[in-house]
Structure 1
Amino acid sequence: MNRDKRITLGLILLTLFLIAALFAPLLAPYDPFDQQLKEGLAPPSAEHPLGQDKLGRDLLSRILYGARISLWVGVATVTISLTIGCLVGAMAGFFGGWLDELFMRLVDIFLAFPGILLAIALAAVLGPSLRNVIIALSVMGWVGYARLVRGQILVVRELDYVAAARALGAGPLRIITRHLFPNIAAPIIVEATFGIAGAIVTEASLSFLGLGVTPPTPSWGAMLSDGRSFLLLAPHLTAVPGLAIMSVVMALNLLGDGLRDRMDVKSR
């Protein structure tokens, strides 16, 4: 599949995901918290296209509302991580010296811990909640952006247009914001695309373990966890949220791959 087809397919799937998340209250056929205990574990039907969970709640409605959780976690985590990572990476790469050494050793410390294990530990200490999930993911997420930004700035800070800006009296803040960041934006955008996918998967993992959002808030990971006890009796309970997670992550990965190839000068 060439890059244009990957970008198009990724955008189509991602648009469907965004519509589901943003307009969940209008699209959901039922209240996602409404329980019909007598209809628990009911398979897909005309009234409930994706079936019902063990408490009789409509699975389609919960999937739509769960998309809002995934979207918020992905966007919020990447926004916070990107802000911190860009700030740290820009200062380390532009000024160098002891500041670069300090920040990069801090990055090395964070990289010494497996990301998912650090997120699990932080979520366990802070307690299960949406806010704490975002905090836990942001604490481990900024490191990759910091290394990427630092590496890019180390390359572009020696170019002629940066030297010309210095000669004209431009200060460090102006050089970084007006001359460096616009020229390193492409790899940052691509990395952010993959970062959103990673945040969605990690949030689902934490919710699966009971460290994510608190019940009865719909979360795709928690829905997977609830359905694992009924794999044979009601396979739709795990298949539906699993396919939802797979589709969104695939959409973001296709978009990221396509953008990376499009923005890569060597591939043209």
Structure 2
Amino acid sequence: MSAALVDRRVHMATDYNGGCNGAWIRHAPQKDWPVNRGLDKVLEVLQPIKEKHGAGLSHADLIILAGTAALEAASGADPGSFGFCPARVDAPEADPSLDVLAPRTYVNASVAVRDGFAVAGFTPAEGVALAGRPRSAAYIKGQGYSGTWGGAPGAFDNGYFKTLLGETWVESKSASGKAEFKAEGKGDIIMTPEDLAIRDDPELVKIAKGYAEDGAAFLKAFSAAWTKLVNADRFDGPAGNVCDDKPAPSLAVAAS
């Protein structure tokens, strides 16, 4: 799922650059960006599947399909309920010009969150929903943080929002110097400055509270936002999208 999210994160709704189509995460410069550290191991796990299916399955489709299937399984959703629009293609080689898509750096976490939503073309509700995604502890530690917010391995629900809003957070730094926040009395539970920016934003925290109170509503919102995220660069002319005629996500999960 982390590979799918990072592969997609570079899409800019502001100028239509980047996205999942092409599986650029396999090539320089994207594979060498710090934000992608450790994702080569994920691609290695997927490689036998690619080899089994050969030209009939692109790396780009495989990354998104694997991430989507993992989310469905972890959330308890019916297989296929998140939806999947195939036929992505793979870029044959590196493109140095894509360095312009490297993740931006910010001094202010609130600006980072709001700008990230705007550049990607997400509404506040969509952006907050995606913030509640599962986070691999190995991946987060590879980014220099002490750990992650927690949650049962292999499970996906609205626990992120319950933790974000239910704990007292103490500003700290990781061993590598990353700014982070630790739950008071629970030093192994970590949130990033961007997480706390959601809590401290009057509009965004209202959305977060809604997701914390209604797990089914959160998963429905996440499913729709995820589908928008992974299909954003499937262009069909100047304004269309080849995935527009695909069925919308139909999520059926138990409330939490």
Structure-1-length-normalised TM-score: 0.26
User: Relative to total residues, which structure has the larger strand share, 1 or 2?
Assistant: 2
Structure-2-length-normalised TM-score: 0.27
Higher Rg: 1
Structure with more relative contact order (C-alpha pairs < 8 Å, separation 6 or more): 1
User: Relative to total residues, which structure has the larger helix share, 1 or 2?
Assistant: 1
